Structure 1
Amino acid sequence: MEEKDKHKAKPTHVDENSKNKQLEHFRSDNDGQYMTTDQGLRINHTDDSLKAGQRGPTLMEDFHFREKMTHLDHESIPERVVHARGSGAHGYFQPYDSSLKEFTKAKFLTDPTKKTPVFVRFSTVAGSRGSADTVRDARGFATKFYTEEGNYDLVANNIPVFFIQDGIKFPDLVHAVKPEPDNEMPQASAAHDTFWDFISLMPESTHMIMWLLSDRAIPRSFRMMDGFGVHTFRFINEAGKATFVKLHWRALLGAHSLVWDEAQKLAGKDPDWHRRDLWDAIEKGDYPEYELSVQLVPEEDEFKYDFDLLDATKIIPEELVPLRPVGKMVLNRNPDNFFAETEQVAFHPGNLVPGIDVTNDPLLQGRLFSYLDTQINRFSSINFTEVPINRPVAPVHNHHGAGFMKMTIGKGKANYWPNSIGSGCPMMAPENMGGYVHHMEKVEGHKIRARSESFNDHYSQPTMFWNSLTEAEKDHLVSAAHFELGKVERKEIRKRQLANFYRVDPQFAALVAAGIGVEMPIGQDSEPTGNFVEDAASQKISKGKSVPSSPSVSMEIDKVEGTKSRRVAILIEDGFEYNEVMQVKEALEAAGIQVTIVSKIQGKRISSGGQELEVEKSHITTGSMMFDAVYIPDGEKSVRKMMGLGDALHFVAEAFKHCKPIATSGFGINMFEKAFVVGVNFADKASGKVVSHNGVITAGVDADAGDFANKFIEAIKKHRHWDREKSMTPA
């Protein structure tokens, strides 16, 4: 090859702005511009079609009408079969240091000076594009890294395990969880007969079901949600040595949940709750942050544990392999256009870079086919990789041919390899020049439809999960089972699932049975459906290490506490105490808390001293479920008015029922009493004391506002005060 040609293959420089700069070429800004047709012809009038007389028929020659209407008729594309409803954001990833070089040659993970641009799409799984955000469901957490070596996709979920072990069962799972085929009901819900019929006959799904019934399945926001790569992958270092790896995202705000009553009400009051929360946070500069951690297992330790690393229904407990933090992702920019970016972004777990490879996990192997195939269905073209949001920032050179909507204009005669006409270009890259080389692994065996016996343990880890939860989390899980199975009409399905739960924990099964109208079916659990074959791997794994519980799976044990971007509603009417409100408001905002003034109607409210405050939300447009805490300031006239408003009383009672911090002072204590805030101690209304009890903060009329605000902030840090669930609270 000539010297001049060698200089064409230069390394790509990538920084956090590289993708944004690339997208700028495709952006269009209408500000100050004339309207045109798609051909660039300026439009003179767009409010009336071209007719034969003002009352006559529309003429076929009206090219503007035809173009405008035809475009509308063809603007939709097939929605994703699963993960149809999503929300996206741009950002960057930066490793903490170069320590991962020992395990991987992936440059974006090993150079702390590099900020790699990313696009993240969060999603529900089962519902359609128009379904609500807060349904009980797993959540997708897919990240596209635009690295200098090509795009790498980490297609994760917010739950670390999955329903099935082998990809061949995925069509059955999806058909079962989707709306039933005869009546297209229910939408975005697993609480129906076909889903639980399938699950009750699939013991391998039991671990995932435990997570799905837990609070993990109703996250407070995408900003407070962890992500898990689910599968075991491989890291490959420069020497070619492989290490098994599990990848984890941890939200730096901590993982926090809604309660089920909130989730259902939010689905009606604001079905875009998670989408709006993510958008608003980024617009306000409260950028979501996530720490990437890894669990590393040497290849020689593949059979060290009592579960198979290739089994997607199992986790590696952190007590056996601790998390190793490696870097941080920051989401700092909203998309310019939802369809062009969030809807058209296409992920694929086979989008890899040097230093990362797949394993023989049979579910992962199925995804490697399905994800590419489904994108071709959505776009009706293999050229979806040329859509701007999917384009790598690394150069693309290959001999891929034409097809629908081919964008790249390939130059030259040679569109094949090897060639001499094109000087042998594009060239093959040796491994030391970034050429991707699959990890060399010896694979042998007979063709057989089977799984190793090492996959045939479906209850040990569900039991570990149950043992790891706090009492409050267990109560929520049981209540979720009552709801889900309570919607199942066929008693035999409920009974069969209960038998599977009995294998997890008899006490757990008894608690579920008490709420779904069936007796304990001891010894009637379903037989595994897979063909499991004893082999050398299963014999080694059967002697491996395990743990009876893993506190790290709990959202409450070692919970991340904080106030950043928390939301507090201040309820007022005319006659509130202005100075108190302003002191508390300033203290909350100084702690990073967002404050909203709420009243019966919008407009201005006048304080007892004549000062005015602008109302931001009315009772009819909001609710306690949209806030993390509620504050009722003193002011007898204001409080008396609210005590006569059912919406205001419900606001307080509901927040109390949902175990959120609530605070009031002076005469406001009367409102708490009327709203059935029970089982907690109040301050003496005439005293100078501040009392904090189970997240309820009360202060006498002479109490120090600073002390009151500080105790309120401390209660907000804890997010929820679950001990209050034992109190009877009508709401």
Structure 2
Amino acid sequence: MNDDQPNTDEQTQGGKTLTTRQGHPVYDNQNLRTVGSRGPTTLENYHFLEKITHFDRERIPERVVHARGAGAHGYFEAYGKVGEDPVSRFTRAKLFQEAGKRTPVFVRFSTVIHGGHSPETLRDPRGFAVKFYTEDGNWDLVGNNLKVFFIRDAMKFPDMVHAFKPDPVTNVQDMERFFDFVSNTPEAMHMITFLFSPWGIPANYREMQGSGVNTYKWVNKDGEGVLVKYHWEPKQGIRNLTQEEAERIQGKNFNHATTDLYQAIEEGNFPEWELFVQIMEDGEHPELDFDPLDPTKLWPEEQFPFLAVGRMVLDRNPVDFHAEVEQVAFGTGVLVDGLDFSDDKLLQGRTFSYSDTQRYRVGANYLQLPINAPQAHVATNQRGGQMAYRVDLAPGQNPHVNYEPSSLGGLSEAAPSGAEHEPYVEGRLVRQKIERTNDFGQAGERYRLFSDFERDELIRNLVSALKDCRPLIQERMIDLLSSCDEDYGRRVAEGLGQDARSVREKLRAAAREAEEISHEAQPY
């Protein structure tokens, strides 16, 4: 056979013959079609146009946050109990009911603020998102490695991210912008205390905790609800890095956490986490000095103990990073029967935002992608949209009917699996903070619970980050940290060459003067 002719036998059999997305064999993948060997090129270079236009679109819009990520497949195995109680007492969610029952999962770990190729050694919260492919459809448990957050109201989320992201002019993250926001946001002190300690740089993804952060609800078959918080604890242990250790690693490898996860699974060292919940009766709990729905707070373990409900094992790496890790789409509103929302204001805002951004980032039919598609019965009346490649028809469904109710063979509603959860709600529609903020109590407690080494590292990192900020921002931070713990504020002040007591007196005097001016300006 002439070497210039295509191998038709190989084409027929598939083999490794290069084709276009239309399935057309590619006979020349090296040269454009041109007028003569030197050009010009012609518009009907169809293979080239298909190749280059796809290339132009190979990167879907990067996530606004959590752009840098790594992921793996695995399974969740239920214990069938919550501590010593049967799980059915608290929730009717099927994946938890039977001891030993396994549910497939996909987990995406991530950094938060910087772009897709940023170093994994940066001081930043880490995302910990788990997609459970349950028999009742998908459940997404979307959280972070740290158990608290910077803000408590979703209204502030864009401002927070803007302040933490690189400067829109210089495109460089600026600690003055960061602390300008933080110093005007007292509720952030708890998170800042974690973030600037060694806990702000996990050693890798395997030796890292996870937390749902927000408060959710569990609902049983009688429609009774309880508040719940989720916590992942690594069986590998917990390990963090000092700033010096992180910089040393970054000088050699800025993909260290992704590499560590991938290699561990390839070598059969499957990472494992145990899932714990804390449970609280639904209500305001006036006995607490904080609101239990506040995501800047921890629930005291001595009052609300960690109760084991299952374990998760990651045992399979992705086949293709883009198709799985990059295109996987999570949402805090993706809950199955027996799981519900609380009135946590941050959760309420996230629930809209997450799925909205997936439709923008991946497309209206992102749930048809294999990594996002439920491994359960799917039948909807949704049609069309960009990149729709199938219709979610049930067996026997009339394809002409894409609405409900119908008498012509369309879909019908499912029978309820239990009583509806109907919490009682009453009150005026207002724009107000929650009443029990207690912005400093747990931050001070965390500072005192740290070891001497952790406190030293925390102070060193805060001083380093604050030293180039203007004096007003430094002073506000000294004041807020002193409100958490006097020693905390004093040590940061000394590191900045200031006296905490003098700073606080100065700020109090300025506040009194401003109040007097405001009072004098009021009309009688």
- Is the shorter-chain TM-score for this pair beyond 0.5, marking a shared fold? yes
* Residue in structure 2 matched with residue 477 of structure 1 by the alignment: 458
Q: In structure 1, which of residues 363, 371, 391 is the aligned counterpart of residue 354 of structure 2?
A: 371
Contact in 2 for aligned 1:85/1:130 (Cα 8 Å): yes
State the alpha-carbon separation in 1 of the partners of residues 401 and 37 from structure 2: 58
Kindly indicate whether residue 445 of structure 2 is the aligned counterpart of residue 464 of structure 1: yes
Kindly indicate whether residue 303 of structure 2 is the aligned counterpart of residue 316 of structure 1: no
Q: In structure 2, which of residues 250, 266, 277 is the aligned counterpart of residue 294 of structure 1?
A: 277
Cα shift readout 1:309-349 (whole Å, capped 9, x = no counterpart): 11111010212211111110000000011110000011001
* Residue in structure 1 matched with residue 416 of structure 2 by the alignment: 431
- The aligned amino acid for 1:288 is P
* Residue in structure 1 matched with residue 103 of structure 2 by the alignment: 116
State the alpha-carbon separation in 1 of the partners of residues 77 and 366 from structure 2: 28
Secondary structure at the residue paired with 2:412? coil
Q: In structure 1, which of residues 510, 524, 529 is the aligned counterpart of residue 490 of structure 2?
A: 510
Contact in 2 for aligned 1:52/1:59 (Cα 8 Å): yes
- The aligned amino acid for 2:237 is G
* Residue in structure 1 matched with residue 386 of structure 2 by the alignment: 404
State the alpha-carbon separation in 1 of the partners of residues 26 and 181 from structure 2: 57
Secondary structure at the residue paired with 1:388? coil
State the alpha-carbon separation in 2 of the partners of residues 61 and 171 from structure 1: 46
1:301 Cα deviation from its structure 2 partner? 7.8
Secondary structure at the residue paired with 1:403? coil
* Residue in structure 1 matched with residue 158 of structure 2 by the alignment: 171
- The aligned amino acid for 2:422 is M
* Residue in structure 2 matched with residue 491 of structure 1 by the alignment: 471
Q: In structure 2, which of residues 245, 248, 259 is the aligned counterpart of residue 265 of structure 1?
A: 248
> Matches of residues 409-424 of structure 1 in structure 2 within 5 Å?
409=391, 410=393, 412-422=399-409
1:164 Cα deviation from its structure 2 partner? 0.6
- The aligned amino acid for 1:34 is T
Contact in 2 for aligned 1:495/1:519 (Cα 8 Å): no
Cα shift readout 1:15-63 (whole Å, capped 9, x = no counterpart): xxxxxxxxxxxxxxx9942000111111112112222222232222221
Quickly say closer, same or farther: Cα 1:382–1:438, change in 2 above 3 A: farther
1:367 Cα deviation from its structure 2 partner? 0.4
Contact in 2 for aligned 1:208/1:313 (Cα 8 Å): yes
1:298 Cα deviation from its structure 2 partner? 2.2
State the alpha-carbon separation in 2 of the partners of residues 515 and 270 from structure 1: 31
Give the number of the structure whose alpha-carbon radius of gyration is greater.
1
State the alpha-carbon separation in 2 of the partners of residues 192 and 483 from structure 1: 10
Kindly indicate whether residue 324 of structure 2 is the aligned counterpart of residue 341 of structure 1: yes
- The aligned amino acid for 1:417 is E
Cα shift readout 1:487-543 (whole Å, capped 9, x = no counterpart): x3312111111110110111111211222233322253899xxxxxxxxxxxxxxxx
* Residue in structure 2 matched with residue 40 of structure 1 by the alignment: 23
State the alpha-carbon separation in 2 of the partners of residues 31 and 283 from structure 1: 29
State the alpha-carbon separation in 2 of the partners of residues 514 and 32 from structure 1: 70
Contact in 1 for aligned 2:218/2:225 (Cα 8 Å): yes
Contact in 1 for aligned 2:405/2:412 (Cα 8 Å): no
Secondary structure at the residue paired with 1:207? helix
1:162 Cα deviation from its structure 2 partner? 0.7
- The aligned amino acid for 1:328 is R
State the alpha-carbon separation in 2 of the partners of residues 462 and 220 from structure 1: 23
- The aligned amino acid for 2:381 is H
State the alpha-carbon separation in 1 of the partners of residues 388 and 239 from structure 2: 44
State the alpha-carbon separation in 2 of the partners of residues 441 and 300 from structure 1: 10
State the alpha-carbon separation in 2 of the partners of residues 198 and 385 from structure 1: 36
Contact in 2 for aligned 1:104/1:356 (Cα 8 Å): yes
Kindly indicate whether residue 119 of structure 2 is the aligned counterpart of residue 136 of structure 1: no
- The aligned amino acid for 1:356 is L
* Residue in structure 2 matched with residue 522 of structure 1 by the alignment: 504
Cα shift readout 1:97-134 (whole Å, capped 9, x = no counterpart): 34212111111112123210000000011001111111
State the alpha-carbon separation in 1 of the partners of residues 201 and 91 from structure 2: 35
Contact in 1 for aligned 2:289/2:438 (Cα 8 Å): no
> Matches of residues 518-557 of structure 1 in structure 2 within 5 Å?
518-520=498-500, 521-522=503-504, 524=507
1:438 Cα deviation from its structure 2 partner? 5.5
State the alpha-carbon separation in 2 of the partners of residues 258 and 212 from structure 1: 12
Quickly say closer, same or farther: Cα 1:36–1:82, change in 2 above 3 A: same
State the alpha-carbon separation in 1 of the partners of residues 172 and 235 from structure 2: 37
Moved over 3 A (4+): 300-304, 523-527
State the alpha-carbon separation in 2 of the partners of residues 336 and 194 from structure 1: 40
State the alpha-carbon separation in 2 of the partners of residues 360 and 308 from structure 1: 11
* Residue in structure 2 matched with residue 283 of structure 1 by the alignment: 266
**Which of the pair has the greater relative contact order for Cα pairs under 8 Å at 6+ separation?**
2
State the alpha-carbon separation in 2 of the partners of residues 72 and 494 from structure 1: 47
State the alpha-carbon separation in 1 of the partners of residues 166 and 14 from structure 2: 43
Quickly say closer, same or farther: Cα 1:253–1:476, change in 2 above 3 A: same
* Residue in structure 1 matched with residue 257 of structure 2 by the alignment: 274
Contact in 2 for aligned 1:104/1:238 (Cα 8 Å): yes
Secondary structure at the residue paired with 1:168? helix
Deviates more, 1:258-267 or 1:441-450: 258-267
Quickly say closer, same or farther: Cα 1:286–1:108, change in 2 above 3 A: same
- The aligned amino acid for 1:413 is H
Cα shift readout 1:620-642 (whole Å, capped 9, x = no counterpart): xxxxxxxxxxxxxxxxxxxxxxx
Quickly say closer, same or farther: Cα 1:441–1:227, change in 2 above 3 A: same
Secondary structure at the residue paired with 2:52? helix
- The aligned amino acid for 1:517 is G
Runs of 5+ consecutive residues of structure 2 not aligned to the other structure: 1-12, 512-524
1:268 Cα deviation from its structure 2 partner? 2.9
Alignment identity in percent?
A: 43
Secondary structure at the residue paired with 1:465? helix
Secondary structure at the residue paired with 1:398? coil
TM-score, length of structure 2 as denominator length: 0.90
Q: Report the RMSD for the aligned CA atoms in angstroms.
A: 1.8
State the alpha-carbon separation in 2 of the partners of residues 92 and 31 from structure 1: 34
1:300 Cα deviation from its structure 2 partner? 6.0
Contact in 2 for aligned 1:494/1:518 (Cα 8 Å): no
* Residue in structure 2 matched with residue 720 of structure 1 by the alignment: none
Contact in 2 for aligned 1:282/1:334 (Cα 8 Å): yes
1:297 Cα deviation from its structure 2 partner? 1.2
Contact in 2 for aligned 1:226/1:248 (Cα 8 Å): yes
Runs of 5+ consecutive residues of structure 1 not aligned to the other structure: 1-29, 528-731
Quickly say closer, same or farther: Cα 1:300–1:359, change in 2 above 3 A: closer
State the alpha-carbon separation in 2 of the partners of residues 415 and 56 from structure 1: 52
Secondary structure at the residue paired with 2:188? helix
Kindly indicate whether residue 215 of structure 2 is the aligned counterpart of residue 235 of structure 1: no
How many residues align? The count is 486
State the alpha-carbon separation in 2 of the partners of residues 438 and 163 from structure 1: 33
State the alpha-carbon separation in 1 of the partners of residues 78 and 388 from structure 2: 36
Quickly say closer, same or farther: Cα 1:31–1:85, change in 2 above 3 A: farther
1:466 Cα deviation from its structure 2 partner? 0.9
State the alpha-carbon separation in 2 of the partners of residues 300 and 511 from structure 1: 39
Kindly indicate whether residue 50 of structure 2 is the aligned counterpart of residue 53 of structure 1: no
